[in-house]
Amino acid sequence: MKFIYFAGRNSKEILRDPFSMILAGVLPVIFIVLFSIISGNVPMEVFQPVNIVPGLTIFGFTFITMFLGLLIAKDKSSSFLTRLFVSPLKPWDFIMGYFVPVLPMAVIIAVSCLVTGLFVGVPLSVKLLFTFLSFIPFVLFSGFLGIFLGTICRETQVLAVGNIFIIACPLLGGAWMDVNILGETLKKITDLLPFSHAIEASRIVLSGRPDNLWIHLGVVCLYAFVFFVLAVFFFSRKMRSDYR
């Protein structure tokens, strides 16, 4: 359990940057309130609380990728990681040490969005708890993608790719619009990506409609697994590399 101490350091590095927590925790909440106001004037299905809350919670999780990627890229550029590579920590300890801090951050984002949802019309029921659980595969995906990006990219590259990811997720995932309006080709692309599946899975759980929940969750789990493997592979390679 040596990684716990390393994970503690990473939590502090992320949480002691108030700007990051404001972005990740507060921005989705502001959007939920804004869209609930818009839904009063534009009665579209996608703006309904049971649809907009899961979409924007998933959007909030995308910040995890950026923060984690930046943290690792910064560590790589200093001698700090060199010091730790000399320690008895194994690649698995590093992956866990970087991933564990994601969990409290994800809980803060999920709880703040779901609680805000209650104020804008999401009914209080056990479905909220199941919706919370349905977020897990996307949190895993976001975390492992962040570790992967941080390992292979420099700080400026993480910033660029992270920003694209943050913008692409709600747009291609249909967080605040129907993905069908993107056209047939783009719709096919969104079906291949995890974003719309993650949002749709949480919407199915929160609204309680009978639908293909497991297919959507399965796609996100597959992405999480692929990026887990990539993160472990590239981080292990980085540890053995002559050029750090």
Partner 1 sequence: MIETTSLTKRFGELIAVDNLNLSIAHGELFSLLGLNGAGKTTTIKMLSCLIRPSGGSAQVMGKDLVKEAGAIKQKINVSPQETAIAPNLTVQENLKMTAGVYGLSKKSMAVKINEMINVFSLEEVRNKKAKLLSGGMQRRLSIAMALITEPRILFLDEPTLGLDVLARRELWAIITKLKETTTILLTTHYMEEAEALSDRVGVMIKGKIRAMGTVQDLLKTTHTQKLEDAFILLNQKEEA
Q: Is the CB of residue 57 less than 8 Å from the CB of residue 134? A: no
Smallest gap from residue 192 Cβ to partner 1 (A): 38
Q: Is the CB of residue 24 less than 8 Å from the CB of residue 67? A: yes
Q: Is the CB of residue 160 less than 8 Å from the CB of residue 166? A: no
Identify which of residues 8 and 123 has a Cβ nearer to partner 1 in the complex. Answer: 8
**What are the tokens at 141?**
């995906």
Summarize the chain as % helix, strand, coil (round to 5). Answer: 85, 0, 15
Identify which of residues 87 and 180 has a Cβ nearer to partner 1 in the complex. Answer: 87
Smallest gap from residue 89 Cβ to partner 1 (A): 6
Give the range of 46-54, 60-68, 72-80, 155-163 binding partner 1 by CB under 8 A.
Answer: 72-80
- Binding residues for partner 1 restricted to 8-37, rule: CB under 8 A: 8-9, 12-13, 16-17
The separation between the first and the last C-alpha atoms of the chain, rounded to the nearest angstrom, is 26
Q: Which of 127, 129, 155 is CA-nearest to residue 71?
A: 155
Identify which of residues 18 and 43 has a Cβ nearer to partner 1 in the complex. Answer: 18
Name the residue type at position 11: S
Smallest gap from residue 77 Cβ to partner 1 (A): 10
Identify which of residues 80 and 214 has a Cβ nearer to partner 1 in the complex. Answer: 80
Identify which of residues 146 and 174 has a Cβ nearer to partner 1 in the complex. Answer: 146
Binding mask 75-114 for partner 1 (x = CB under 8 A): ---xxx-xxxxxxxx---x---------------------
Give the integer Cα–Cα distance in Å for 113 and 51: 12
Smallest gap from residue 134 Cβ to partner 1 (A): 33
Q: Which of 109, 90, 63, 131 is CA-nearest to residue 2?
A: 90
Please report whether residue 154 would count as binding partner 1 according to CB under 8 A: no
Identify which of residues 124 and 240 has a Cβ nearer to partner 1 in the complex. Answer: 240
Q: Is the CB of residue 141 less than 8 Å from the CB of residue 227? A: yes
Please report whether residue 6 would count as binding partner 1 according to CB under 8 A: yes
Please report whether residue 210 would count as binding partner 1 according to CB under 8 A: no
Give the integer Cα–Cα distance in Å for 108 and 159: 23
Identify which of residues 6 and 148 has a Cβ nearer to partner 1 in the complex. Answer: 6
Please report whether residue 155 would count as binding partner 1 according to CB under 8 A: no
**Most distant CA pair in the chain: distance in Å?**
60
Q: Which of 85, 70, 86 is CA-nearest to residue 14?
A: 70
Applying CB under 8 A, the residues found at the interface with partner 1 are: 2-6, 8-9, 12-13, 16-17, 78-80, 82-89, 93, 240, 242, 244
